[in-house]
Amino acid sequence: MTAPETPTTAEELRGVGLRVTAARVALLETVRAGDHLDVEAIASGVRDRVGHISLQAVYEALHALTAAGLLRRIEPAGSPARFEGRVGDNHHHVMCRSCGVVADVDCAVGEAPCLTASDAHGFSIDEAEVIYWGLCPACSTSDS
């Protein structure tokens, strides 16, 4: 028995009803190859792959890919929005106050939502978002 083939980026885009363009393919691959990238870093990575693309086109593609569930947007307080390719789970993040590095933190329970609200106020909660703040090992060492 052979393992199922991983869909190509173009097939993933078609699978969620999006038109396949070189910019969308490059953007999705840039975010997935990166590590919690901001819009400027994504635009730079896309330009490296396909040449000129406007910042507006990057924003529009990010919106479409996020709405389609292919990317996840995180918005740490006081920081620009960042995007990641890890979707489909309810993981959290740890962020350095000094250098801004971000890392994934798996849920303690492992299923969405992995936190229980003390009072849901009648909401049907399906996701919880937590950002742990502190200093990364490199910044902790340099501050000592």
Amino acid identity of residue 1, one-letter, is M
pLDDT digits (tens, 9 = 90+) for 36-71: 999 999 999 999 999 999 999 999 999 999 999 999
The answer to the question of whether 114 is labelled as a binding residue is no
**Could you give the residue range(s) of every CATH 1.10.10.10 domain in the chain?**
9-82
For 9-82, CATH gives 1.10.10.10
> Is residue 111 marked as binding?
yes
Q: Over the stretch 12-42, which tens digit does the pLDDT of each residue have?
A: 999 999 999 999 999 999 999 998 999 999 9
pLDDT, tens only, 104-134: 988 776 666 677 788 888 988 887 788 889 9
The domain made up of 89-143 has a fold known as Dna Ligase; domain 1 (3.30.1490)
Residue 107 assigned ligand-binding role: no
CA nearest neighbour of 100 among 33, 4, 44, 35 = 35
pTM summary value? 0.83
The answer to whether 73 and 63 are in contact (CB under 8 A) is no
What distance in Å separates the CA atoms of residue 5 and residue 11, rounded to the nearest whole number?
Answer: 11
Annotated ligand binding at 99? The verdict is yes
CATH 3.30.1490.190 residue ranges in the chain?
Answer: 89-143
Q: What is the pLDDT of residue 77?
A: 85
At residue 73, the 3 state secondary structure works out as strand
